[in-house]
Structure 1
Amino acid sequence: MSSPEHKQKIWQLIDDIKVGMLVTLDDGVPRARPMHLVQDAYDGTLWFYTRRSAEKAFEAQSDRDVCITFSDQKHGVYVSMSGKARLRDDAELIDKYWNPFVAAWFEGGREDDDIAMLEIDIDFGEHWQARESKAFQLYEIAKANVKKEHKPDMGENEKFGH
């Protein structure tokens, strides 16, 4: 697992992005769909609202191994995180993260029988962050092509977890 400092760094990378692509297995075939973060900090677990009747909920129960990716092309930030998913119907959790954005998706409100929290405990991941502008990145690529021995320096890349 990562240190508290590294978890803070991951949060700084994904906090402004907010929407990640959740990948589950649908009868052995990877399937992705957008999910919106609802928490205001990251401690190794990600939280999302979902419907119990949603296909992703059945897929996550059938095979708990999931991946979620976050991407911000404008700022050159890419994060991939893998972990174990599970559904939670804890009323305190539902209340804790409830907000007007979530309310728009659940007509029955917090008491909707179909509402659940999707908890993803992150085991490992990787992130990339460009240090420089697109112009500098193009320069690095051109330099690598001309010199043939130079690998372009596109920024930071780090794996975390096991």
Structure 2
Amino acid sequence: MPAQHVRTLGPVLESLDAVMLTTLDGADRMVSRPMTVCVDNFDGTLWFFAPITSQVVADISANPKVNVSYCGPPASLSITATATVTPHTLPVLARWRPRLAPWFPDGMNTAATIEVVAERARLWTSPTPPARGRHLRPVRGGRHDTF
């Protein structure tokens, strides 16, 4: 992904606590699940953690094509990417955050890292957020970019 697009997506991703990660299961059905975002300085790669024995790890191991999405303030986004799972302790230690501990009660040694490399992205921004309880819709002055 070009550097200018990484610079555009970076501040949005760095402001988020969670996104939806979508994979394809063994029957080619899309499966989405919320994932905690660990972005300090977005460089085109996102990092997630999951239990080594989880379905998301199995899905990615079988088919590495994924989508990362978010809808809400400050923007909505959809990122098409390729993921790689690493079940080794060293990458986990390098990126571990204390806020992940509740998801891994048996410790970080049960976690695998999921490296998600962005290939394409769509980003929707709006000068004002939609009123609470209203659906997101095109807003005059809003913006939609495809990278």
Query: Does TM, normalized by the shorter one, top 0.5?
Result: yes
What is the identity percentage for the equivalent residue pairs of Structure 1 and Structure 2? 23
Letter in 2 for 1:70: Y
Aligned alpha-carbon RMSD (Å)? 2.2
Q: 1:133 to 1:48 in 2, by over 3 A?
A: closer
Q: 1:45 to 1:152 in 2, by over 3 A?
A: closer
Question: 5+ residue gaps in structure 2?
Answer: 132-136
Q: 1:40 to 1:153 in 2, by over 3 A?
A: same
- Aligned to 1:104, the other structure's residue is in SS state helix
Using the TM superposition, give the Cα deviation of residue 39 of structure 1 relative to its aligned residue in structure 2, in angstroms: 2.8
Cα distance in structure 2, aligned partners of 1:33 and 1:83: 16
Q: Which residue in 2 is equivalent to 1:10?
A: 9
Residue 25 of structure 1 contacts residue 31 of structure 1 at CA under 8 Å; is this kept in 2?
Answer: yes
Cα distance in structure 2, aligned partners of 1:17 and 1:105: 18
Cα distance in structure 1, aligned partners of 2:34 and 2:146: 23
* Residues matched between the structures, number: 142
Q: Which residue in 1 is equivalent to 2:59?
A: 59
Residue 22 of structure 1 contacts residue 68 of structure 1 at CA under 8 Å; is this kept in 2?
Answer: yes
Richer in helix (by share): 1
Residue 13 of structure 2 contacts residue 39 of structure 2 at CA under 8 Å; is this kept in 1?
Answer: no
Asked if 1:49 is matched to 2:49, the reply is: yes
More divergent stretch after superposition (9-18 vs 27-36) = 9-18
Letter in 2 for 1:53: T
TM-score for both structures, normalised by structure 1: 0.78
Q: Which residue in 2 is equivalent to 1:159?
A: 146
Using the TM superposition, give the Cα deviation of residue 154 of structure 1 relative to its aligned residue in structure 2, in angstroms: 4.5
Q: How big is each residue's C-alpha offset from its partner over 1:29-79, in whole Å with a ceiling of 9 and x where there is no partner?
A: 11111011123111111100111211111111111110010122x44x101
Question: 5+ residue gaps in structure 1?
Answer: 136-140, 142-150
